[in-house]
């Protein structure tokens, strides 16, 4: 939300905006699937990475928000275990992390 009366005009010939990841793109796939999105633009999911649509799972930046590749890899592996369990009723795949877990600090 812009702060009133704080606008400044800066002359420039090139402007590069470094925004990084600003949330999952809703139009297209997510809209057609009908998954719920949080107010911060992330895909809503439960403790098993399941979205609000049966059979649709999520992990990584679009679920956690902008983060690090190690989280995306660990979450992707954990999500795969949940998908396996959803399809087969049981899984032996590893779940390195649970949704919302914070990095371990030493």
Ligand X SMILES: Cc1cc2nc3c(=O)[nH]c(=O)nc-3n(C[C@H](O)[C@H](O)[C@H](O)COP(=O)(O)OP(=O)(O)OC[C@H]3O[C@@H](n4cnc5c(N)ncnc54)[C@H](O)[C@@H]3O)c2cc1C
CA distance 100 to 96: 12
- Provide, rounded to whole angstroms, the least separation between the CB of residue 22 and ligand X: 9
Which residues of this protein are in contact with ligand X, per CB under 6 A? Answer: 20-21, 25, 28-29, 60-61, 67-70, 72
Q: Are 47 and 98 in contact (CB under 8 A)?
A: yes
Shortest Cβ 50–ligand X spacing (Å): 17
The answer to whether the Cα torsion of 9, 12, 18, 21 is positive or negative is positive
Q: Looking at beta carbons, which residue is closest to ligand X? A: 60
**2/28 with CB nearer ligand X:** 28
């Amino acid at each position: 939300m812009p702060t009133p009366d704080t606008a400044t005009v800066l002359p420039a010939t090139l402007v590069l905006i470094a925004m990084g990841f600003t949330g999952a793109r809703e139009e297209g796939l997510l809209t057609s699937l009908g998954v719920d999105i949080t107010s911060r633009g992330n895909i809503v999911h439960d403790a098993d990475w399941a979205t609000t649509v049966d059979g649709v799972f999520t992990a990584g930046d679009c679920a956690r928000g902008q983060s690090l590749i190690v989280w995306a890899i660990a979450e992707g592996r954990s999500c795969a275990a949940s998908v396996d369990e959803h399809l087969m009723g049981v899984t032996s795949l590893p779940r390195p992390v649970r949704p919302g877990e914070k990095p371990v600090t030493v």
